[in-house]
Structure 1
């Protein structure tokens, strides 16, 4: 039987601008611009559904046209979205500037910060695995909901993975606080910048960072290295895989696709190498097109 995954985090509208070159201050910069569904948790849920994994997304949107459209997209893709819209905030919006293989995000989380802790805890019951985007933990408004999801998962025996989400907010809350919140999870995912924040080692080797975090947390840790592949560290040792060749059009959502590929394989019995290989292939597929969804 395929494990049901519940994903907790953000569902927003992404305004993705793939720039023709570096932005030119005080004048025009040519770009290809798309309005798409976004949010780390929502993207991961969409990719899990693409892998034919039963998945529920717990995320808040506003009672507006944007929120209705975002939920409809996910339901059409096979994602269960049980939480009702919120009348007290608009659906969140993120402006994504992609250029030269990198992306910068300008974020208005909107209704995403209004996740209800009780509703989240109740909806976790009955799933097999919780995947928590780090964003709820990194904002004061949604932190109680993120912690409630973790507590409910522990109480009901779910396995748990957490994505560290974003280096900037991680620095603001501090590595010690974040690591205290996620201690006891089964798997932590972080990119190079996030791993540097969490280990306090900006120039550290990714393998060393993964080992350090795995030892600290008593969990498996994956450090995503982009075009350099990925590293898995746990009590059994270290596994590394290269990234497959890819033409980078838009890196938005590549880490979310990576997480979904990894979870889909791992929860169906794949070992760390097979899981990382599937994750890297999903990430390569994601960067080859504009937008963060399959």
Structure 2
């Protein structure tokens, strides 16, 4: 099996797990942790955990945060094709999270400076039989869009399969569904959550949304959190799997873990129902701990904690 080349974002996550509703203008108890994040980087880390050879193509600043973020991924077994941009700062995201939802406040930093030539060279250097997984974030921001489009072009030139994650509903609306679907037209697999599917395919049930998206891509997957996920193919076939009931600690990165589990199985030859099941299992594993990455071995956890540790949330899934 070839290497999965993951292109997208690598940032610092400041995870704020607040105890109850945020009380504007006053104090809210929280557990605060600093760790690696970014949709592409998270997916790459979970792919490595699933045993798949993976290389991340991203950009960080020439700062301590960038060095820490790269070191974490190398330790996790992810190949390093990460560009260091002098004079830039590594991107960061404040994640306000509880058991049922999370809100992100983002400074994309060096992510916006990812060089199209760097991306093209990394994909061309990949061994035959590889796969490109593109986070939608580079496409959704004007500064990084040339790099995202270059990744799609290079993959097509190399004749490798391509998957794209739709990334986030709000910037999808800003970019426009018609433009985004034109950018990803013809790719092998498009993944989106329920909100993103509504932006791209309009309202409706997940099977109908996924089926409409196959007018643009070969296969489409809609993630429904605790409701499971559906897969539709251009030939009219569709499959659904339920969610995996588990205690939810933090939903951050669960969709990235789902994508990794699905890709690891599908690229190894699994049929869509089995790939969905693999994705659901890894997504369920992700929500049972705080943070977007696979848990680090005991003794390597350097997270900073402030305030009480909130209890685990209600039962749910990715």
**TM-score, normalized by length of structure 1?**
0.97
Is 1:232 the counterpart of 2:234 in the alignment?
no
Within 5 Å, give how 1:38-187 maps onto structure 2.
Answer: 38-125=37-124, 126-127=126-127, 128-187=130-189
Q: CA offsets per residue over residues 132-158 of structure 1, 9 Å max, x none?
A: 000000000000000000000001101
Q: Encode CA deviations 1:225-251: one digit per residue, 9 max, x unaligned.
A: 000000000025110000111111110
Partner of 2:300: none
Q: Deviations over 1:45-96 (max 9, x none)?
A: 0000101111110000000000000000000111111233111210000000
> 1: distance between equivalents of 2:68 and 2:195?
32
Q: Is the 8 A contact 2:211 2:236 kept in 1?
A: no
Match of 2:250 in 1: 250
Contact 1:71 1:81 survives alignment (8 Å): yes
1:29 positional shift: 0.9
Distance in 2 of aligned mates of 1:120 and 1:197: 28
Distance in 1 separating the partners of 2:222 and 2:89: 34
SS state at 1:94 partner: strand
- Cα distance in 1 for partners of 2:18, 2:218 equals 39
Q: How many residues in Structure 1 have an aligned counterpart in Structure 2?
A: 290
Aligned structure 1 segments of 4 or more residues deviating by more than 6 angstroms: none
SS at match of 1:60: strand
**TM-score, normalised via structure 2 length:** 0.90
Q: Write the distance in 1 (CA, Å) between the matches of 2:74 and 2:273.
A: 31
Distance in structure 2 (CA, Å) of the matches to 1:154 and 1:230: 28
Equivalents in 1 of 2:30, 2:207: separation in Å? 37
Are the equivalent residues in 2 in contact too, given 1:6–1:124 (CA < 8 A)? yes
The CA deviation string for residues 154-189 of structure 1, in whole angstroms up to 9 with x for no partner, is 011010000000000000000000000000100000
> 5+ residue gaps in structure 2?
295-318
1:61 alignment partner, SS class: strand
Aligned to 1:196: 198
Larger mean CA deviation between 169-178 and 124-133 belongs to: 124-133
C-alpha distance in structure 1 between counterparts of 2:2 and 2:282, whole Å: 19
